[in-house]
Chain A
Amino acid sequence: MCKKAVSLILSVLFILVSITVSGCSPSKQIDKASLAETVAVDSGENGLSYIFFLLNSNDKPNVVSIEANSFEEACKKARKSYIPELSLSKFELFAVNEKIYAECLQKDLTYIAKNSEISPVSYFTLCDKNTLSGMKKNSKYLESIKEYINLLKKNNKDVSINCLSVFNKIYENNNLIIDVSYITSDEELKAEKGEIYIKNWEK
């Protein structure tokens, strides 16, 4: 009887210690609006503009645009001022304006590769200005873009559609043209084969 009581007390003490030591007290509620699902890169007034598309259930996307020189800098600025609880754990798509990819691709892909939050198989695509404008207006654009990218991959096996394969192809084959997905929306949304060329990737 005494032994059972001692065991019970020890069990209670153990549970108490576990809860305290594991740090449940400073737990933070993850706000759905802090989960960045897509990030697009466009030219901004003073360099590059990183557009964060935050998870929401409305038709109109929840968008935050931040001027920065790199994705890493944009994330730091976002956490400091705009999206304090920013989380990239639901990151699915990295879309870059085809005219400015050479300015940001190496450092941004490197940042994505070093970040444990971001899934290596997040989609990567080039896109035109119209597509980026469309993405800011309609949430369904984002879903459609992913479907078109998958369809493109089915028909063209050599196209690299995720950050993992794009990174590896550029890193391992210096000065080579890589086939990637390119989304246009002149009249309608379309996925084509696009090309990127990074000269002298700094390892």
Chain B
Amino acid sequence: MTQIKIPSNRMLITLLICMLPVILLENIKSADKQTFLYEFVSTFVGIAASAVLFCLVYVSQKYTKCADVRCLYRKTVVGSFVTALIYCVYFVWLISYILLKYSDMFSKKFNQNASLFGIGLILLILCAYSSYKGANAIARCALIISVITAVSLLLIFCGNILNIDLSVADFGFSGNPSGFFDVMSNTFSISFTAVICLVLQNKSEKFKLRSVFVLFAAALLIFTAFAFFIRFALGSYAHMQEYSGFLLSKSSLLGSVGGIEGLYLFVSTISVFILVSLCLCCIKKSAFNTNGKHYLLFILPTAILLFCAQNIESVRDVLTNQIILNIMTVVVSLVLPAINLALYRRDTNV
């Protein structure tokens, strides 16, 4: 049976949806003294770094013509096993990272009695079912979801137009290095899409390089739009609460309808659902590369991590640490393939 490949445009839209949780679940309190231009530059640097990483992954795929992520260390059984394990650990970590952020937002903003573990587990089970249907089905869902997401985001922005106050705007360039680093680190975290692409690359049509730039240009636009509205519509009010995205939706005013936080919850939930489902597909591809259900075993360590994170503060801090995630992303997307190229250069199909 011929495997149907995901068209590259559909894959692009799916990856863009996967980037949304990073924006919507952002919990950075940008420094008071940081101007918009400073924040824009740090956002741009973070996204540019992600785009460079993505391009390097793209080029390395072309160079090695490797159809399977496990072919990185196919010479030995141990090498193949260790590589698969590293990628699976990475995706389990990414899933825990996103589910913890989502559960934290849900419990703080919508239902304080909700259990972090309970919310995470329910989503995980739903995503397990969707991942069983395959990456192609998820990408088709993402196409429909992207339309609803675009409309929801437009409504949130339009509802805040009347709140924009440029009289307090400072269009200078000033800020502090820690604020720059925080914003840059947050925007760089969208580079996990490069790893997803690396793993699923033989299930999708090959991107053209310009598609990568379109993807990250769209991401930059969405990040900048959020930063603009949070700074000029919410102002200092945004520093008083966590999850500025939620606050932005709460302050939307569309005629007599005030507060569309339900749309924010919907968009957050659905984008987390797509991302986690895709990560589970990546685990299936990395470890087993069959149509079996064995990859679902990885739900168990994820659930254990979520349970530990709910009860032990230090576990939660480690799992939601952006710097650790970014380092892991660089290792699995660049360092491992680079080592493989260095060791097995003569055996690659160049």
CB distance from A165 to the nearest CB of B (A): 7
Chain A residues near B165 (CB-CB < 8 A): 165, 168
* Pick from A21, A113, A165, A173: contact of B115, CB under 8 Å: A21
- Measured CA separation A114–B241 after assembly (Å): 5
A148 CB within 8 Å of chain B:
no
Q: Are A119 and B258 in contact (CB under 8 A)?
A: yes
* Pick from B125, B236, B259: contact of A171, CB under 8 Å: B236
Q: Looking across the interface, which residue of chain A has its beta carbon closest to that of B110?
A: A116
Please classify how large the interface on chain B is, using the bins under 10, 10 to 19, 20 to 34, 35 or more: 20 to 34
Chain B residues near A167 (CB-CB < 8 A): 236-237
B240 CB within 8 Å of chain A:
yes
Chain B residues near A164 (CB-CB < 8 A): 163, 234-235, 237, 251
A62 CB within 8 Å of chain B:
no
Task: Give the number of residues in A that approach B within 8 Å (Cβ atoms).
Answer: 21
A-B contact count (CB 8 A): 64
Chain B residues near A173 (CB-CB < 8 A): 168
CB distance from A14 to the nearest CB of B (A): 6
* Pick from A18, A116, A121: contact of B241, CB under 8 Å: A116
Chain A residues 172-186 with CB under 8 Å of chain B are: 172-173
The main secondary structure of chain A at its interface with chain B is helix
The main secondary structure of chain B at its interface with chain A is helix
* Pick from A21, A26, A113, A120: contact of B121, CB under 8 Å: A21
CB distance from B273 to the nearest CB of A (A): 14
Q: Knowing A18-B122, A116-B246, A121-B253 touch, does A172 contact B109 (C-beta < 8 A)?
A: no
A22 CB within 8 Å of chain B:
yes
Q: Are B234 and A120 in contact (CB under 8 A)?
A: yes
- Measured CA separation A18–B165 after assembly (Å): 44
Chain A residues 16-45 with CB under 8 Å of chain B are: 17-18, 21-23, 26
- Measured CA separation A147–B305 after assembly (Å): 52
Q: Looking across the interface, which residue of chain A has its beta carbon closest to that of B247?
A: A120
Q: Looking across the interface, which residue of chain B has its beta carbon closest to that of A110?
A: B240
Q: Are A121 and B113 in contact (CB under 8 A)?
A: no
- Measured CA separation A153–B253 after assembly (Å): 15
0/1 per residue, B121-148, Cβ < 8 Å to A?
A: 1100100000000000000000000000
* Pick from B122, B236, B240, B250: contact of A119, CB under 8 Å: B250
Q: Are A23 and B118 in contact (CB under 8 A)?
A: yes
B5 CB within 8 Å of chain A:
no
- Measured CA separation A120–B259 after assembly (Å): 9
CB distance from B147 to the nearest CB of A (A): 27
- Measured CA separation A26–B113 after assembly (Å): 10
B114 CB within 8 Å of chain A:
yes
Q: Are A113 and B118 in contact (CB under 8 A)?
A: no
* Pick from A18, A22, A168: contact of B236, CB under 8 Å: A168
Q: Are B236 and A23 in contact (CB under 8 A)?
A: no
Chain A residues 102-149 with CB under 8 Å of chain B are: 110, 113-114, 116, 119-121
B65 CB within 8 Å of chain A:
no
Q: Looking across the interface, which residue of chain B has its beta carbon closest to that of A164?
A: B237
- Measured CA separation A119–B108 after assembly (Å): 15
- Measured CA separation A171–B165 after assembly (Å): 14
* Pick from A21, A114, A168: contact of B118, CB under 8 Å: A21
Chain A residues near B121 (CB-CB < 8 A): 21
0/1 per residue, B237-265, Cβ < 8 Å to A?
A: 10011000011001101000011000000
Chain A residues 150-174 with CB under 8 Å of chain B are: 164-165, 167-168, 171-173
13 CB-based A-B contacts, threshold 8 Å: A21-B115, A22-B114, A26-B113, A113-B241, A114-B240, A119-B250, A119-B251, A120-B163, A121-B251, A164-B163, A168-B168, A168-B235, A172-B235
Interface residues of B (CB under 8 A from A): 108-109, 113-115, 118-119, 121-122, 125, 163, 165, 168, 234-237, 240-241, 246-247, 250-251, 253, 258-259
Interface residues of A (CB under 8 A from B): 14, 17-18, 21-23, 26, 110, 113-114, 116, 119-121, 164-165, 167-168, 171-173
**9 closest residue pairs by CB, A with B:** A113-B240, A168-B235, A120-B251, A171-B236, A21-B118, A114-B240, A172-B168, A119-B259, A116-B109
Given A18-B125, A21-B115, 15 additional A-B pairs, CB 8 A? A14-B125, A18-B122, A22-B114, A116-B109, A116-B241, A116-B247, A119-B251, A119-B259, A120-B234, A164-B163, A164-B235, A164-B237, A168-B168, A168-B236, A171-B235
